[in-house]
Structure formats: structure tokens, C-alpha cells
Amino acid sequence: MPVRVGSVSYLNARPLAHHLNRWPSRFTVRYDVPSRCAALLHEGAIDLGLIPSIEYLSGDYRIVPDIGVVSDGPVASVALFTRVPVANVRSIALDTSSRTSTALIRVLCARHFDVQPEFVAHDPDVEAMVRRCDAALVIGDRALFADAAALGADKIDLGAEWLAMTGLPFVYAFWAGPPGVVDDEDVARLQEARDAGVRDIDEVVAAFFPGDPDRQHIGACYLRENIRFGLRDRELQGFELFARLASEVEAAPGPRRTRLYGDP
């Protein structure tokens, strides 16, 4: 039976999934927002999901080796848009499409910005979010293309802030699923698809933004300059630190051992 794959609908995930159609008899792919990918995996409606990294702590999962959506500095697509200096922020509207980014802003507020704001769940409407609260957590393509000046806000890049606080990359998502749903050959195919997607960035963004050369240019620069797609020791150290800190601020369950497909 094919592996039922759930991928994220944002641009930063497309290099990982764009070429999975090379193996139609092995992978079927659907696209959803990150939180929905996680819900489908938890429900057993998909076999393998590109899930927000924090969701790994909520199930008995394994991670596909060396594939992730990662930043090692500015990420551009996960940001706090704030109308006041960050030290004066008293309320933050949260785009709840990804629990990982929600947990990240809670960690940064507690451990880096030294503020204790009220967090307000909100539909991902950037203008409405910054009208309602002092600041707004915005993720994905909306954050990438939002005009901070037009919103009357400053854009604080959370990838850059995490690196400044920890010296480590931040892991936003990775392929994960229950033990045994993919084998070594599947892992090799997923890694091959990743490599092909990274080589074919221009093709990926052209398919994502058909007929829009301005967005294609911005998207290609973003994928080449801001996003990393590997998941090695340093990235896993960043994830494990994040899991611990998120647990300490009660934004996630307790940390668990990081286990990859192929581990004994």
C-alpha cells in the first residue's frame, strides 16, 4: 500500500514534497496547514507527516533522518509584528496554524524578551491581529510577504532571535510517523526528493506562484537564503533544547528521546 503523506501547504515545505510524484505507487501526498498535518497524523489519517517539531512530543513517532525545515539565523516567515517596543508588549495575537511557532514565541517572551504578555488566539488576518493586540505572531507565506511598514509595525524575525539566544538552529518541521511506516528505501527516496527540490528551487517557486515573477523571485531568495533542509547533529541539538524550554514554560509536553527511523 502507498504511504499516505501529509505535507505542509507553505512554500518552505515544497522543496521536500515537489518531487515525491516520482514514486506514485509508493507515496500519495496531501497538503494542509501545519496544525492540520499534525492532527491527521495523531488521528492515523496519514502515515507520515511533515509535522511542526513540537508535535513530536505528543506521540510515539520516529523522525526521517536528515530532512527538516530549519533556519540558522533569520527565517523571514516566522515573525512578531509589533506596534510597540518589544519590552512594552502586553498582548500578542497568535496565528495558531502551527503550535511550534506558538511555543517558540512563549519561550522567547519568557527567556529572551523578558515580557509576560496575554496570548490571544486569532484567525491569520495580519491587519486585524495588529489592530487587536500590541503584536502579532504571523507564520508562513503571510509573514514572508506582509508589509510591516504598511501595518505600522516592526517585524522581529524569530529565527534570528532564537539563534541570538541559543547559538543553535531552529527546527520548524520534519517528516515523522509511527515506527515502521517507512523503510530504508523510503527514507532514501524522501532524501532524494529533498535533494532534487533544493536543486530545482526555480521550478518549485514557479509552480507555487504561477504567473507571478515578483513573488517567484522573493520565494526563490527565501528558499536559498533563509531555509535549510538538513537535520543533523546541530539541528537536533537545537530541537532538543527547544523541546526542553517549551516544556519549562508549559507550552509543550515533557521532552522525550529523539528517535530516527533506522535507530535500534
Sheet (strand 62-71) strand order: 27-32, 3-8, 48-52, 170-177, 62-71
Percent of the chain with pLDDT over 70: 100
With 0-12 / 13-18 / 19 or more C-beta atoms within 10 angstroms meaning exposed / middle / buried, residue 43 is exposed
- The pLDDT score that the predictor gives to residue 217 is 97
- Residue 114 C-alpha cell reads as 523578558
Collapsing DSSP to helix, strand or coil, 256 comes out as coil
What is d(CA 110, CA 97) in angstroms, rounded to the nearest whole number?
21
Low-confidence ranges of the chain (pLDDT < 70): none
- The pLDDT score that the predictor gives to residue 255 is 82
Give the DSSP per-residue string, 108-146: HIIIII---PEEEEE-S-HHHHHHHSSEEEEEHHHHHH-
pLDDT in tens, 24-51: 999 999 999 888 999 999 999 999 999 9
What is d(CA 159, CA 163) in angstroms, rounded to the nearest whole number?
6
Neighbours of 82 (CB within 10 A): 22
Please report the domains of the chain, with CATH numbers, ordered by start residue. 3-71+171-248 (3.40.190.10), 78-166 (3.40.190.10)
- Which long-range contacts link 116-125 to residues 24+ away (Cβ below 8 Å)? 117/89, 117/90, 117/91, 117/92, 118/90, 118/91, 118/92, 119/91, 119/92, 119/94, 120/91, 120/92, 120/93, 120/94, 121/93, 121/94, 121/96, 122/93, 122/94, 122/95, 122/96, 124/95, 124/97
- The pLDDT score that the predictor gives to residue 102 is 94
Q: How far is CA 146 from CA 101, 159, 215, 245, 248, in A?
A: 17, 17, 12, 29, 32
What is d(CA 229, CA 235) in angstroms, rounded to the nearest whole number?
10
Please provide residue 69's backbone torsions phi and psi, each rounded to the nearest 5 degrees.
-110, 110
